[in-house]
Amino acid sequence: MSDNIKDSLTNPSVIFEILSPSTEDYDLGRKFFFYMQIDTLREYITIDSTKHHVRAGRKQADGAWKFEEYNHLDEQLRIKTVGLSIVLREMYEGVF
């Protein structure tokens, strides 16, 4: 479902956030706090734009969030909500 502005979707199951030095603190703090209030959200994946670092937060059955970190280009990120996997090398291709 989308809102009237048509620049965002409501009821997401997974959100991807590209972190930059100027927004990282806000994205991982206050913004994520608001995201945690979305009932349908199951995964929150942040991708660092300055180094090889991906963090995947997954909502557990009890509502708690569990995080996994990926730092090596040969690691494979599994996006469980949508049944997709990607190797970090592919994700960062052409970035650095």
Which domains does the chain carry?
A: 14-91 (3.90.1570.10)
Mind listing the pLDDT tens digit for each residue in 59-80?
999 999 999 999 999 999 999 9
Q: With beta carbons less than 8 A apart as the criterion, state whether 68 and 80 touch.
A: no
pLDDT of residue 1: 46
- Residue 43's nearest CA partner among 8, 75, 77 is 77
What are the tens digits of pLDDT across the range 6-44? 666 778 999 999 999 999 999 999 999 999 999 999 999
